[in-house]
Chains A and B, each alone.
Chain A
Amino acid sequence: MPPAESSKDIQQVRQIIDVFHEISTLLNANLDRHTLSICISLIENGVNPEALATVIKELKRDGEETMRQVEQNEG
């Protein structure tokens, strides 16, 4: 019965991601569901959560900086 099992697994994974996403919203962590799933996969592959948080903050800062530059060039 592998298909039934795997669909049950997928359902459970979705449920876990849903709850983590709700916690993320309550903590104002600013992660959408897709980004959160990627983060969970990275953690499952052994990435340290603090290192991941540092990288995410840097990438967000870079993204905001790029946005500002684009807006300045357009304006």
Chain B
Amino acid sequence: MKVHVDMSICLLHGQCVIAAPEVFSFDDEGQLQWLADVDDGLRADVEAAADACPEQAIRID
């Protein structure tokens, strides 16, 4: 599955990092990093991360 974060609306709440730490993380500068191509085995976690995003910035294809 493909994961995309719209950084024009992301406000770095960090809820995705908590819901799916295998996929989303903060780098040393505090910027959001994520895996763009994720194994389907993690779908439930990634969906939980997308649901938890207060800005609804995460898209899963």
Instruction: Indicate whether A and B interact.
Output: no
Binding site for A on B (CB under 8 A): none
